[in-house]
Amino acid sequence: MVWVDDLLLFGRSKEAMIIMKDNLKSEWQMTNLGEPSKIIGIEITIDDRSVMISQKKYIENILIKEGLKRVNPVSMPLDPNTPLVPNPNEGKVD
């Protein structure tokens, strides 16, 4: 006996998804729970053009546990407009 608790299917079209689901149903008993919003702790947001995944809640729990919830967040640690140049010491650290 095999028990699969969670399974996500992705397809290019609704028709492809219907065919895939029908093929699975012909072999195994299956319950379709619709579009997911969360699976194994990963939050899922789906719109017409994209699928976004996030572990925001998981990260927030780690910050709380480590006492870092109130630190000053930044969206990017380095300004993307900062020019990067080769190390003048050719990679050697003094």
Residue 35 is predicted with a pLDDT of 84
Residue 15 is predicted with a pLDDT of 93
Q: Where are the alpha helices (DSSP H) in the chain?
A: 14-27, 56-65
User: What's the chain's length in residues?
Assistant: 94
Structure tokens at 30: 């299956």
45-61 pLDDT, tens digit per residue, is 988 888 889 999 898 99
Domain layout of the chain by residue ranges: 14-65
Residue 75 is predicted with a pLDDT of 74
The neighbouring-strand residues paired with 42 are 39
Q: State the 10-residue block means of pLDDT for the chain, 94 residues long.
A: 73 88 90 84 87 90 90 78 84 64
Full-model pTM: 0.51
**22 within 8 A of 11, measured Cβ to Cβ:** no
Cα-based distances in Å from 17 to 5, 47, 60, 69: 19, 16, 34, 41
